[in-house]
Homo-oligomer: A and B are copies of this chain.
Amino acid sequence: MSRSSDLAALAALLADDTRARFCLALLDGRAWTASELAAHATVAASTASEHLGRLIGGGLLVERRQGRHRYVQLAGPREAELIEGLVAHLEPRGQRPATLRTSRAAEALARGRTCYDHLAGRLGVALTDALTDRGLLDRTAGFALTTAGVEWLTGPLAVAPEDLRGRRPLAKECLDWTERRSHLAGLAGARLCERLLARGWVKRIGTQRAVTVTPEGTDALRLLLDLDPASLS
């Protein structure tokens, strides 16, 4: 099996609209059941079953059985990153999609959402910009958290230092497809999202990926990051 056929096989996993829909839905970082995905993509249960078999066999998804329910989710951050990279590539640089403004659901996603395990959309970008402005994130020569940035996470955000160590990079740039700018991914991005949700400063809207800043969160972020609430609307 050669590299080109491996590449073609990997691409083929996503080269079907139904499977692409599944993977985009699973970018919310949660586990979905087979029938939820079937309903979401409006296909028969048998079709969903076969597609999931291919995605799991190909390594993009993992599954867990709970009685008659089969829960599937993205296999990990690497897989999420792969899909996000493809999605980011779809949009020309430097321009927001005009068509995305036409629906309320899309507007909510643009305002704030989870992107696998970190925050994205206007919220994600605003947070990333604020971190940059306050010297907690250095983007002049690459994309890296500063010493002060690490301290900010372990200090006011109470992230455990060991939670910032692992095989994943601490800071990773993730191009935001609604905002056309970068938001913070990597360990730091994941922990930030986790803490903001845990503190109730950010909460989920509905069952999809959309999130919003709570009033307490607006105050806290203004205090901690000089984050202007107007930058979130």
Interfacial residues of chain A within 132-181, with CB under 8 A of chain B in the complex: 138-147, 149-150, 167, 169-173
Contact status of A85 and B87, CB under 8 A, knowing A17-B4, A144-B144: no
Chain B residue nearest in CB terms to A137 = B142
Which residues from B are CB-within-8-Å of A16? 8
Chain B residue nearest in CB terms to A1 = B99
Q: Would A170 and B144 count as touching, CB distance under 8 A?
A: no
Q: How many identical subunits does the complex contain?
A: 2
Which residues from B are CB-within-8-Å of A223? none
Q: Would A11 and B14 count as touching, CB distance under 8 A?
A: yes
Choose from B82, B146, B173 the contact partner of A85 (Cβ within 8 Å): B82
Contact status of A142 and B167, CB under 8 A, knowing A8-B14, A11-B15, A87-B7: no
Contact status of A17 and B10, CB under 8 A, knowing A82-B85, A170-B142: no
Q: Would B93 and A167 count as touching, CB distance under 8 A?
A: yes
Choose from B82, B89, B147, B169 the contact partner of A89 (Cβ within 8 Å): B82
Which residues from B are CB-within-8-Å of A149? 141
Q: Which A positions have Cβ atoms within 8 angstroms of B?
A: 3-17, 19-21, 23-24, 78-79, 81-83, 85-87, 89-90, 93, 138-147, 149-150, 167, 169-173, 186
